[in-house]
Amino acid sequence: MAQFPHLMAPLQIGPVTVRNRIVSTGHDTGMSEHGGLIGDQLIAYQQARAKGGAGLIVLQVAAISDSAFYTSHIIQAMNDECIPGYQRMADAVLGEGASCFGQIFHPGREMLGSADGTLGVSWSASSVANERYHVKPRAMTTDVIRQTIQDYAAAAERLKRGGIQGAEIVASHGYLPAQFLSAQINHREDDYGGSPENRLRFLREILEAVRDRVGPDFVVGARISGDDKDGIGLEPDECHAACVALDQAGLVDYLSVVAGSSATRSGSFHIVPPMYQEAGYTAPLGRAVKDNVSVPVIVTGRINQPQIAEQIIAGGDADACGMTRSLICDPMMPAKTLAGDSDDIRACIACNQACIGHFFMGAAISCIQHPETGRERDYEPQEAARASRKVLIAGGGPGGMKAAAVAAERGHEVILFEAGPQLGGQALLAQLLPGRAEFGGIVTNLSHELERAGVTVRLNTRVDRALVESEAPDAVVIATGAVPSEPEIEGAGEGHVVNAWQVLRGEANVGQSVVVADFRCDWIGVGLAEKLALDGCRVQLAFNGSQLAENLMQYLRDHAAARMFDLGVELHSYARLYGVDSDTVYLEHAMARKPIVCEGVDTLVTALGHESVDNLEGELDGMNIELHMIGDCLAPRTAEEAVLEGLKVASAL
Ligand SMILES: Cc1cc2nc3c(=O)[nH]c(=O)nc-3n(C[C@H](O)[C@H](O)[C@H](O)COP(=O)(O)OP(=O)(O)OC[C@H]3O[C@@H](n4cnc5c(N)ncnc54)[C@H](O)[C@@H]3O)c2cc1C
Ligand SMILES: Cc1cc2nc3c(=O)[nH]c(=O)nc-3n(C[C@H](O)[C@H](O)[C@H](O)COP(=O)(O)O)c2cc1C
Ligand code: SF4
């Protein structure tokens, strides 16, 4: 507490006293049930954050009407069926001492999907198409506007009847109220268009209608983007003017400031900013609003450590900090901060994989470092083992490390053997790709967890049958990972061929003109292309997919596309590697079945996927020992599956 006096101080928001300044801002969890209701999984998820000490939990966007279902997994506040779920949620969250508000939401033209796969009619201020989803909306008639305002008010009242303490109108990220605010989208010639005052009228009337319905003893706030960050959306001065007007009219109890817009690719990148953005970069957006309004301001965006949040609040940039992924990654972060154990915090590395990545896949959110998230009912709290057993873990990559930490926490005697000189496995290579140093945080965090749990670590020790016999463990977990695939490439003897790992380790002599052949379409191909282009090479990236990095979530893929463009990397899509000779790489268009020939090439760099290292399973055959395999040695995938399988195996030992 002494270290974090500003962050841990209570905050008054309207009639509600929030116990500290750490906020879990609204985030769609993909955990709705029965067509939009709050159920046990979502309650367990939020309760864990409340129990971990968060000050304020803002529940995810809730649709105010049928036309607000922007995904099939959104929750709803459009009819009274939602109230019992909110009631149970309020009991759970308030019962742990946190405060609880909920977002009410209409996306306007920002439609991501629908339950039955058909496109509904979407609405906006005017019939201006959205660039990212290519949705052409209908202009709202005055009757539709009036009904929509009433829908917001009715939704807020339902939250109140459900015991929730406040409603946040989502006017951020280019959603419906922001579409009215924007002169680019709002071409209306009636009272809702034209001047800035008229463009603000929709949001103003929503807030007035909400306040009329909920009365004075309920918090009403708004979320707003301080900068759409896309060059065609709302500019900072327009956002500030709107915030000042709402504050001066006494229409909001607080403002929640973010960056970005759903409408464009560069804007959407800032909704959940990946590790390429520096931590705390949105603080100036909070400052610009806070300096001009009287109500508390929450600022959000890549604030992943309490030290940064403390600095933001102490420096006067905001009154509270959204630390959403920080809490997804470590629900106990506030309690650890308060107890002076901030070194034990598992910091979010902004990889955007299991949280927002799952959201886009329509799956419940989780965290690659903490797969207990979203699975609270199965794994929290961890039960102590019935009897302590000796567990041998072979392999110190993310999977082996997680298995070791959880098994030791549960009371087993755990020895982890790693063949190499360092823990981390492939994550040690992943962190070497340009802009991805923070990925190494997974190793730092897991190493710390191993230490705390009392795992014995033996480096530079390869596990084989003799070692297992001499250790005589009760159970062995094989987590020996994977190595690069080296398929036979026609002409490889003639050409200069090196693999991705050799390049990253600095073990390859790469020429001036390079083709990177990318099979997995993930971080590795685009990362290598970027690295080599930064080193001054002419780079051609040939990927066997319809678009580059097609297996990455959209924001990461878009970032990669921008880097390839900036660095002049030449791209070949649908490119299946065929062969190589002394200065040419031969590819085939996987669909047209026609050659793609890259001439004048010095080096072919292969990123052709991985092969499991699973020989230990065979070596231990017949030993009559309990044996488990996890992670890439089972099938080469990602750190997410390795860590999850580590958790599963260790929880069952
Ligand atoms: C360049 C690169 C970038 C990547 N980027 C990402 C990313 O951004 N996100 C993501 O989720 N995934 C990424 N991945 C994939 C991810 O790193 C792996 O899926 C993950 O590390 C697999 O974990 P694991 O524990 O199963 O195996 P590994 O990480 O492969 O670890 C296995 C460990 O076992 C050791 N070992 C092998 N045999 C023995 C033995 N007999 N005895 C003792 N030790 C042994 C190895 O030395 C190694 O340290 C990337 C991979 C690479 C190569
Ligand atoms: C999975 C996921 C879903 C999100 N859904 C919403 C949402 O429903 N409403 C909203 O206003 N913001 C949403 N966001 C944005 C977050 O509220 C927050 O602004 C963002 O994660 C950046 O903050 P952070 O860096 O602290 O995570 C979502 C974020 C994530 C990770
Ligand atoms: S999955 Fe990655 S970005 Fe998401 S919360 Fe976990 S560490 Fe953070």
Taking the domains of the chain in order of start, what are their residue ranges? 11-378, 382-483+612-652, 497-608
Quote the pLDDT of residue 115.
81
Span 345-362, average pLDDT = 97
Structure confidence by residue, pLDDT tens digits, 385-394:
999 999 999 9
Ligand nearest 369 Cα, by number? 3
Question: Is residue 524 lining ligand 1, measured as CB closer than 6 Å?
Answer: yes
Question: Is residue 425 lining ligand 1, measured as CB closer than 6 Å?
Answer: yes
Task: Please list every protein residue whose CB sits less than 6 Å from any atom of ligand 2.
Answer: 25-28, 60-61, 103, 170, 172, 223, 258, 271-272, 300-303, 322-326, 355-356, 359, 365
Instruction: State the distance from the centre of ligand 3 to the C-alpha of 349, rounded, in angstroms.
Output: 6
Span 321-343, average pLDDT = 97
Structure confidence by residue, pLDDT tens digits, 211-251:
999 999 999 999 999 999 998 888 899 999 999 999 999 99
Q: Which CATH number fits domain 11-378: 3.90.1150.10, 3.20.20.70, 3.40.50.300, 3.40.710.10?
A: 3.20.20.70
For 512, the 3-state DSSP assignment is: coil
Q: Rg for the chain (alpha carbons), in Å?
A: 26
Which among 550, 475, 530, 538 is positioned nearest to 512, based on CA atoms? 538
Contact 450, 405 (CB under 8 A): yes
Please report which confidence band the pLDDT of residue 113 belongs to, taking 50, 70 and 90 as the band edges.
confident
Place of tokens 């609405």: 123
Q: Return the amino acid letter for 249.
A: A
Task: Please list every protein residue whose CB sits less than 6 Å from any atom of ligand 3.
Answer: 325, 328-329, 348-355, 367-369
Classify each residue of 624-636 as buried b or exposed e, where b means 16 or more C-beta atoms within 10 Å of its C-beta: eeeebbbbbbbeb
Span 306-319, average pLDDT = 98
What CATH fold (topology level) applies to the domain 382-483+612-652?
A: Rossmann fold (3.40.50)
Quote the pLDDT of residue 2.
66
H or E element: which one contains 197?
Answer: helix 196-214
Instruction: State the distance from the centre of ligand 3 to the C-alpha of 330, rounded, in angstroms.
Output: 10
Quote the pLDDT of residue 41.
97
Quote the pLDDT of residue 116.
86
Please report which confidence band the pLDDT of residue 1 belongs to, taking 50, 70 and 90 as the band edges.
low
Q: Facing residues of 18 across strands?
A: 11
Please give the number of the atom of ligand 3 that sits closest to the Cα of 352: 3
Structure confidence by residue, pLDDT tens digits, 408-449:
999 999 999 999 999 999 999 999 999 999 999 999 999 999
DSSP characters for 392-445?
A: EEE--SHHHHHHHHHHHHTT-EEEEE-SSSSS-TTHHHHTTSTT-GGGGHHHHH
Structure confidence by residue, pLDDT tens digits, 550-580:
999 999 999 999 999 999 999 999 999 999 9
Instruction: Show the DSSP H helices in 512-567 as ranges.
Output: 523-534, 554-567
Instruction: Please check whether the domain covering 497-608 is classified as CATH 3.30.1280.10.
Output: no
Q: Facing residues of 542 across strands?
A: 517, 572
What mean pLDDT value characterizes the chain?
97
Contact 115, 35 (CB under 8 A): yes
Structure tokens, 451: 């230490």
User: Which residue has its alpha carbon closest to ligand 3 atom 6?
Assistant: 367
Ligand nearest 352 Cα, by number? 3
